[in-house]
Chains A and B, each alone.
Chain A
Amino acid sequence: EVQLVESGGGLVQPGRSLRLSCTASGFSFGDYAMSWFRQAPGKGLEWVGFIRSKAYGGTTQYAASVKGRFTISRDDSKSIAYLQMSSLKTEDTAVYYCVRDISIYWGQGTLVTVSS
């Protein structure tokens, strides 16, 4: 059974940094791209970015709203994907979801609140 478990969310002040983790199980992690999505309170779904598998270069792409502030990485030996968030803004407040590829399997989400 595919499982994705996000962790690392919490309350953080504007301008600070936070790193989220996504621990995967039930599939060959290194064979898949991993994505991050988010959902602000009461709002719709937004793609944050993804990281390709090593077979496709392990390259990353980001949404314009987070480019230059957020970094996605992966540790295939541990089956973990990371979302490093820097220079956080109040508008980054959201539930962050880890997703295998870009669609089928989603984690339960972790809430990030950016507030002073």
Chain B
Amino acid sequence: DIQMTQSPSSLSASVGDRVTITCRASQSISNFLNWYQQKPGKAPKFLIYAASNLQSGVPSRFSGSGSGTDFTLTITSLQPEDFATYYCQQSYSTPVTFGQGTKVEI
């Protein structure tokens, strides 16, 4: 199985901050990397696919980069509605696996 490791596990930030979350795969997954945002009691929301492609309707302050084993999710100018938990997911092979999550809090 491909292990996905996110860092940090949590971070404190303020409105307007630039936030970077990293995700590392235990082997190369090309660009088969997705990012999700999840708020308490809600289903995950799909943000970015194929490492760097923004899903329709997602604000442009979100961006993704990387390929192979190392990936990054960046939120420029953090907004109040961005406080949530973020997960990376590899879709390169089954079992599909997720990072453990990064909680972004005030």
- Interface contact tally, CB-CB below 8 A: 44
B residues near A, CB below 8 A? 34, 36, 38, 42-46, 49, 55, 87, 89, 91, 94-101
Check if A76 is an interface residue, CB within 8 A of chain B: no
User: How many residues of A are counted as interface, with CB atoms below 8 angstroms from the partner's CB atoms?
Assistant: 17
Q: Are B43 and A97 within 8 A (Cβ)?
A: yes
B4 to chain A, nearest CB (A): 10
Given known A-B contacts A107-B43, A109-B43, A102 and B100 have beta carbons under 8 A apart: no
Q: Are B34 and A46 within 8 A (Cβ)?
A: no
Q: Are B43 and A47 within 8 A (Cβ)?
A: no
Q: Are B91 and A104 within 8 A (Cβ)?
A: no
B87 contacts across to A, CB distance below 8 A: 44-45
Q: Are B46 and A44 within 8 A (Cβ)?
A: no
B97 contacts across to A, CB distance below 8 A: 47
A45 CA to B97 CA in the complex, in Å?
8
Q: Are B44 and A106 within 8 A (Cβ)?
A: yes
